[in-house]
Structure 1
Amino acid sequence: MKTFILIDEDSFFELIDKVVAHIDQKATEKNSKWITPEAAMKALNITSKTTLQRYRDEGKIRFAQPSKKIILYDSQSIDEFLEKNTRDTF
């Protein structure tokens, strides 16, 4: 038994655009050495910008500041920070 779903052309292309944007975002997150503060917070599973700044100030994660208001974080240093703070179970 086959099921068919009918949608109008505008809705179809809107859906395709959203899928492509989502795929692009995921690919950028995985392949980018330098990530935004929001992506860094997500990777670290934190919600506080203060905690992110503390990690940066204490040298726990690497960052770049290409201009005064732009700070980017090294995704590899975040992975290393998480690995360093991993605890094995008994």
Structure 2
Amino acid sequence: MEVVCLQEEAFYKLFDKVVEHVEQNRKDQPRKWIDGDEAMSILNITSKTTLQKLRDEGKIRFSKPQPRIIVYDRNSINEYLESKAHETF
């Protein structure tokens, strides 16, 4: 095993670059699980009842990590929208 010594300034520059790289990669990938407001925005609906209906009918996936918290699977929402898409002529 080899030990590498860095000056303090070089260490912090390297550390900042690593943090910047990690943050950039995190921003590029949207979150898999989203809240109801974001789900309604993607679906272009304004009614929580409509969102609940989609959930109850099994048209979009959801998870309840806690009793009063419901999150929605972004991929299932996109799949639902694709299933309703009409092809152009």
TM-score bracket relative to the smaller structure: 0.5 to 0.7
What's the RMSD between the two structures over aligned residues?
A: 1.4
The two structures have a TM-score, normalised by structure 1, of 0.66
Match of 2:11 in 1: none
The two structures have a TM-score, normalised by structure 2, of 0.67
Match of 2:39 in 1: 40
For residues 34 and 56 of structure 1, the distance between their equivalents in structure 2, rounded to whole angstroms, comes to 14
Structure of larger gyration radius: 2
What is the 5 A alignment of 1:1-80? Answer: 27=27, 31-80=30-79
Deviation of the 1:54 alpha carbon:
0.1
Q: Identity across aligned pairs (percent)?
A: 56
Match of 1:84 in 2: 83
| Unmatched runs of 5 consecutive residues or more in structure 1 | 1-26
| Unmatched runs of 5 consecutive residues or more in structure 2 | 1-26
How many residue pairs get matched? Answer: 63
For residues 81 and 46 of structure 1, the distance between their equivalents in structure 2, rounded to whole angstroms, comes to 14
State the secondary structure of the residue aligned to 2:53.
Answer: helix
Give 4+ residue runs of structure 1 displaced > 4 Å after superposition: none
Q: What are the Cα deviations for residues 57-81 of structure 1, in whole angstroms up to 9, with x where unaligned? A: 0000000000110000000000000
